[in-house]
Structure 1
Amino acid sequence: MTDLNFKGKEFVYNHHLAVPFRPLVPHADKGIGPVSFDGNLIIHGDNLHALKALLPLYAGKVDCIFIDPPYNTGNEGWAYNDNVNGPMIREWLEANPIGIEDGLRHDKWCAMMWPRLRLLFELLAENGSLWITLDDNEAQRAKLMLDEIFGEAGFDANIIWQKKYTVAADHTGIAPMHDHLLVYSKSEWVRNKLERTEGKDAAYRFEDEKGVFRVSDYTCNKNADERPNLYYPITNPSTGEECWPNRTRVWGYGPEAHAENEANGLVWWGADGKSSTPAFKRYRHLLKDGGKIVPGTLWDWEFAGHTDLARKELLQILPDIESRDATITPKPTSLIGRVLEVATHENSLILDSFAGSASTAHATLAANERDSGNRRFILVEMEDYADRLTAERVRRVINGYDFKGTQKTELLRERLNWRVLSNNAELVRKVEAIENLHGHEYDRIKKEVKDGELIVTGEKTVTERAEGLGGTFTYCTLGDPVELDKVLSGETLPPYAGLGAALFHMATNQALDPVAVREEDFYLGATEGQHVWLIYKPDLEWLKSPEAALTLSRAKAFAATDADKRHLVFAPARYVSQKMLAEQNIPVEFVPLPFALYRIDRS
């Protein structure tokens, strides 16, 4: 496997391990509903530190990660500011923000992404998937990094998303019309099939007493010499006339199969029954899996939306968006909706650590609305608009928002050329299918030709408020780092849950289940082979008292809860030796708090 080498890699290779744990600090007034760390979350803070903060609760539990990081075009003005202890990295910080003239901008981008991808890998479930959007500036380097982190077998697809539906008239050179959507996973994961689009159903334009159907060719690509049994006359029951296939293309069914098709009413002789050749009826309701389609690697704008649509979505919800936020480039909810359709189930956990305008949260709530699901989202946004833009969009999507005018949803955009015009009946059927499928959802379906394109739009008059999708979320910031060597000095006294989550993850490499914690008993939780305990209170005088020590009686009490498992006990001190515990066959191991990070035995 070819590894990607970039300047600074030796400094950032394991930097994610040195990032301190920071507790999540909820701000109840900025969220909706009760504070909950196991529900929807919006975190304002550096996403490197936020991802580390999520590990104790969500390591190995995220079903779908969707991220839209800086594309590194040279025009974004992003800054590399990770606290990496390396002289070259320190020099880089003096050259922020990173622009087009920076000859090391690709190295800096890789240095920024590497530790974040390492943490995302740890958060991803074994049967989960990671989706990352990029353009040609960094897609090839991202793929090499992801190959190294996930292994080459972890690569699933490079989806081409057509982000624009037309080339700008003033564009010079070759116009970039697509972005990349790289998909990776740890192991085999369930890829859902997709619901059929209007385009797929447009061919089902006939109907009889059995249902809606389309027709297909009754012949196959064989000649009469190869398959003489398929070269025979078929009689039209309405006219009594015989018809023969071409000798170079015989019937697709033998005499017995044809007779069975006739008996089952599957042979089509035209609307008036007088066609000179038969066709085969294919009923929509008989399609396997309800006619759902396997996702492919080419997603056009009709299938997954485009960037102009994303911008219109955002301005419809936040027409008062501040000018300083106006340059943000959101992704359409339809694109993320397709990702969720492929990669999630109704109870999935979705993470977006480059949240921007919260399109991922919007798409998640919309997916729940469609199928009554209980998907949860975690958003991380480090910019100062996390509250006024990221969280505000989610508040309005949940509660509804003031909107007076016409809500418009683009349903079809078709460039009119000679091929389309010469087959105008097919285009008319496509529009009719849209009207039949979506007509009840809108006050009117508007059809107009503009700049050489047919545009079909669903319009709904809203006079007061756009209806909300419902839901809750907790808004958080990042607290001070949990530095174990400062606990006993009193410099840092994190809450029990914050310290416990960090220690549990360090000891087990698994996420802490908050429901299992019993603070009054000093119990954190269990893994398959051991229980974990933490004797601790955020009280310096108590921590210095005998009450904070592991004693023989306390060790016996811990072990008695489950004699068949090992018990790992974090505590500031102990009044019983490990030798005495071993002699009395008490399966308890003591780990002193200030040195916990260095003395955990994970064997």
Structure 2
Amino acid sequence: MTELNFKGKEFVYNHHLAVPFRPLEMHADKGIGDPSLDGNLIIHGDNLHALKALLPLYAGKVDCIFIDPPYNTGNEGWSYNDNVNAPMIKEWLDSNPIGIEDGLRHDKWCAMMWPRLRLLFELLSEHGSLWITLDDNEVHRGRAILDEIFGAERCVGQIAWQKRTSRENRAALSPSIDHILVYSKSDPDLWKLYRNLLLPGENGYSNPDNDPKGEWSSIPFSAQGFRENQVYKIVTPTGVELDPPKGRCWGATEPEFERLKAEGRVYWPKGGNGRPRIKQYREEAKGLVPSTLWMSHEVDDTEDSKKQLLEIFSEKVEIDFHAPKPPRLIRRIIQIATKKDSLILDSFAGTGSTAHAVLAQNQADSGDRTFILVEMEGYADELTAERVRRVIKGYDFKGTQRTELLREKLSWTKLKSAEKLTKQVEGIENLHGHEYDSIKKQVKDGELIVTGEKKVDEHAEGLGGTFTYCTLGEPVELDKVLSGEDLPPYASLGAALFHMATNEALESAAMDEAAFYLGESESEHVWLIYKPDLEWLKSPEAALTLSRAKEFAAAKPGKKHLVFAPARFVSQKMLKEQNIPVEFVPLPFSLYRIERS
């Protein structure tokens, strides 16, 4: 496999291992609901340290990761701040933030992304997937990094998302798309068995005619080719006589069409003048394999996202944030990549679109998905978390309410009869003009769209939910523990030791601090004899004894036992001779072992 080389790679290749564990500190006043590390989390802090802090609790448990890292355009003002102990890396810090004139900005971007992607890989569940948005600046390097970390065979695909519909006339080529790279932890053929098919018109189900069968979308009633028994005339409700489209036939025989009509499954667009379409009800949809082209009218673009953000923060005239990702885009990812109880992680959280998308999808399908957001910038509380608070509780909306009154696909035939189309628009203005402050006409993506706009003061209902706001505590550094400078809480040290010993996440609910029990891994029970009290740690109470070893083995039979403790008063040889399946692992407190006469 071709390897990506960048300046500094040798220093960051295993840098994620040197990042210290830091406990998550909960702030009850900034969240909603009872604080808990088991539910929705918003973490304010460096995302490299936050990902390391999540490992002891969530390694191998995240089902879907969506990240929107810096695109490295040279105009974003991001900084490389990782504490890598290498002179060359330290030199880089003198040239922060990364600008367009920085000749090493691509190397610095790779050095920043490498350890974060290594940790994200560890957090993914066996059937989890990573979705990362990038533009042309770094997509090729991003893909090369992911090929090395995940393996090139784990690349599921590369999606083109239409991020804008207007033209950028200052550019050599107007950029219309961003890329979404998709990698799975398991083989893509295996991941395919766990991902969901995308429902046709997933975001287009509605019930404009109050059909008692519920929400529906529609498909054209025509088929490619020629079948004699499917060529006949159809008369619309307005009396227009229709033949099948040129080169096609109707989608079924005439008796079948009449049956569909009798069942109320035929929809006539354009006020009854259009070609018939057949209703597909939501519960009947079989689903389609997701494609690699996502258009803005399906999942929104960055302009739509900005408008929605300003609706939520209607008291603001502008929000200084470039290209926030639309919740509809992330909802589509969630619909494909998650189940109703999945865990979704976004370690470049920005404006909090991922949390918004998770909450909206939960409301739509009665799901119980949870999210973890990480944001290192100062706006983590006032923008990221505040958006989530408003989405959960509801918010006052002052802005423009838009109602679509006409959508007409333009064709040469339509243009030849432009006068008729103009009169149709004038008729809409005469009929509905008094209901709105203005009637807006625009041509977008080859369609004429007429919209009624009205200034409103409304209250958007909340989606419900809870979250806990966290910051990062002081690092759990064993050398400071050894000197007695820093004695972390039991849970913080225990989670770090459990993960280091087992490479698995700790189930915090199973921890029993009073009994010194951490939890159960796939192959063993893990214990920690510890209290954050230096005098106690020097006492005989902190040692593993024969009686305590027997007690541990009897309490949790069936597996071997790993016991972390500052000291022991029983030899490994004696434990083996008495068939007690306990292994002692010394904590860095050996300097304080009790001297025995």
Fold similarity call, TM over 0.5: yes
Task: Determine the structure 2 residue equivalent to 1:56.
Answer: 56
Once residues 444 and 368 of structure 1 are traced to their aligned partners in structure 2, the CA distance between those partners, rounded to angstroms, is: 33
Task: Determine the structure 2 residue equivalent to 1:193.
Answer: 197
Once residues 262 and 405 of structure 1 are traced to their aligned partners in structure 2, the CA distance between those partners, rounded to angstroms, is: 45
User: Deviation digits for residues 158-190 of structure 1, max 9, x if unmatched?
Assistant: 00000011214x434210011000001011222
User: Deviation digits for residues 217-246 of structure 1, max 9, x if unmatched?
Assistant: 57746xxxxxxxx889999999xxxxxxxx
> TM-score, normalization: structure 1?
0.81
Superposed counterparts of 1:226-375, under 5 Å: 283-285=278-280, 290-321=285-316, 326-375=320-369
> What amino acid maps onto 1:561 in structure 2?
A
Superposed counterparts of 1:556-595, under 5 Å: 556-594=550-588
Once residues 68 and 85 of structure 1 are traced to their aligned partners in structure 2, the CA distance between those partners, rounded to angstroms, is: 27
Instruction: Quote the offset at 1:63 in angstroms.
Output: 0.7
Superposed counterparts of 1:213-228, under 5 Å: 216-217=221-222, 220=225
Instruction: Quote the offset at 1:292 in angstroms.
Output: 2.9
Give SS of 2:20's match. Answer: coil
Contact 2:221 2:277 in 1 (8 A): yes
> TM-score, normalization: structure 2?
0.82
Task: Determine the structure 1 residue equivalent to 2:243.
Answer: none
Once residues 307 and 413 of structure 1 are traced to their aligned partners in structure 2, the CA distance between those partners, rounded to angstroms, is: 22
Query: Does 2:155 correspond to 1:155?
Result: yes
Query: Does 2:518 correspond to 1:514?
Result: no
User: Could you say if the C-alpha distance between residues 234 and 318 of structure 1 is closer, same or farther in structure 2, counting changes exceeding 3 Å?
Assistant: closer
Once residues 13 and 344 of structure 2 are traced to their aligned partners in structure 1, the CA distance between those partners, rounded to angstroms, is: 26
User: Could you say if the C-alpha distance between residues 469 and 236 of structure 1 is closer, same or farther in structure 2, counting changes exceeding 3 Å?
Assistant: closer
Task: Determine the structure 2 residue equivalent to 1:448.
Answer: 440
Give SS of 1:379's match. Answer: strand
Instruction: Quote the offset at 1:346 in angstroms.
Output: 1.2
User: Could you say if the C-alpha distance between residues 554 and 416 of structure 1 is closer, same or farther in structure 2, counting changes exceeding 3 Å?
Assistant: same
User: Deviation digits for residues 192-233 of structure 1, max 9, x if unmatched?
Assistant: 12233299889x99x9x9x99866557746xxxxxxxx8899
Contact 1:41 1:475 in 2 (8 A): yes
Instruction: Quote the offset at 1:413 in angstroms.
Output: 7.8
* 1:395 aligns with one of 376, 389, 392: 389
User: Could you say if the C-alpha distance between residues 491 and 215 of structure 1 is closer, same or farther in structure 2, counting changes exceeding 3 Å?
Assistant: closer
Range that drifts further, 56-65 or 286-295: 286-295
> What amino acid maps onto 1:302 in structure 2?
H
Contact 2:481 2:589 in 1 (8 A): no
Task: Determine the structure 1 residue equivalent to 2:429.
Answer: none
User: Could you say if the C-alpha distance between residues 461 and 347 of structure 1 is closer, same or farther in structure 2, counting changes exceeding 3 Å?
Assistant: farther
Once residues 445 and 124 of structure 1 are traced to their aligned partners in structure 2, the CA distance between those partners, rounded to angstroms, is: 50
* 2:370 aligns with one of 357, 364, 376: 376
* 1:487 aligns with one of 470, 481, 506: 481
Range that drifts further, 447-456 or 376-385: 447-456
Task: Determine the structure 2 residue equivalent to 1:440.
Answer: none
Once residues 143 and 530 of structure 2 are traced to their aligned partners in structure 1, the CA distance between those partners, rounded to angstroms, is: 44
User: Could you say if the C-alpha distance between residues 54 and 454 of structure 1 is closer, same or farther in structure 2, counting changes exceeding 3 Å?
Assistant: same
Superposed counterparts of 1:121-200, under 5 Å: 121-168=121-168, 170-187=169-186, 188-189=190-191, 190-197=194-201
Contact 1:501 1:512 in 2 (8 A): yes
User: Could you say if the C-alpha distance between residues 528 and 200 of structure 1 is closer, same or farther in structure 2, counting changes exceeding 3 Å?
Assistant: closer
User: Could you say if the C-alpha distance between residues 24 and 264 of structure 1 is closer, same or farther in structure 2, counting changes exceeding 3 Å?
Assistant: same
Task: Determine the structure 2 residue equivalent to 1:113.
Answer: 113
> What amino acid maps onto 1:192 in structure 2?
N
Once residues 78 and 326 of structure 1 are traced to their aligned partners in structure 2, the CA distance between those partners, rounded to angstroms, is: 15
Give SS of 2:307's match. Answer: helix
Query: Does 2:3 correspond to 1:8?
Result: no
User: Could you say if the C-alpha distance between residues 12 and 410 of structure 1 is closer, same or farther in structure 2, counting changes exceeding 3 Å?
Assistant: farther
Task: Determine the structure 2 residue equivalent to 1:437.
Answer: none
Task: Point out where structure 2 has 5 or more consecutive residues left out of the alignment.
Answer: 236-246, 267-274, 426-434, 591-597
RMSD: 3.9
Contact 1:213 1:281 in 2 (8 A): no
Contact 1:328 1:357 in 2 (8 A): no
Once residues 377 and 567 of structure 2 are traced to their aligned partners in structure 1, the CA distance between those partners, rounded to angstroms, is: 42
Superposed counterparts of 1:79-90, under 5 Å: 79-90=79-90
Contact 1:79 1:96 in 2 (8 A): yes
Instruction: Quote the offset at 1:467 in angstroms.
Output: 1.3
User: Deviation digits for residues 338-365 of structure 1, max 9, x if unmatched?
Assistant: 1111111211111000001101111111
Query: Does 2:545 correspond to 1:541?
Result: no
Task: Determine the structure 1 residue equivalent to 2:240.
Answer: none
Contact 2:524 2:560 in 1 (8 A): yes
Contact 1:130 1:184 in 2 (8 A): yes
Task: Determine the structure 2 residue equivalent to 1:434.
Answer: none
Give SS of 1:542's match. Answer: helix
Contact 2:396 2:459 in 1 (8 A): yes
Task: Determine the structure 2 residue equivalent to 1:599.
Answer: none
Contact 1:45 1:382 in 2 (8 A): yes
Task: Determine the structure 1 residue equivalent to 2:272.
Answer: none
Percent of residue pairs bearing the same amino acid type: 64
Give SS of 1:31's match. Answer: strand
Once residues 438 and 200 of structure 2 are traced to their aligned partners in structure 1, the CA distance between those partners, rounded to angstroms, is: 23
Contact 1:447 1:455 in 2 (8 A): no
Instruction: Quote the offset at 1:8 in angstroms.
Output: 0.5
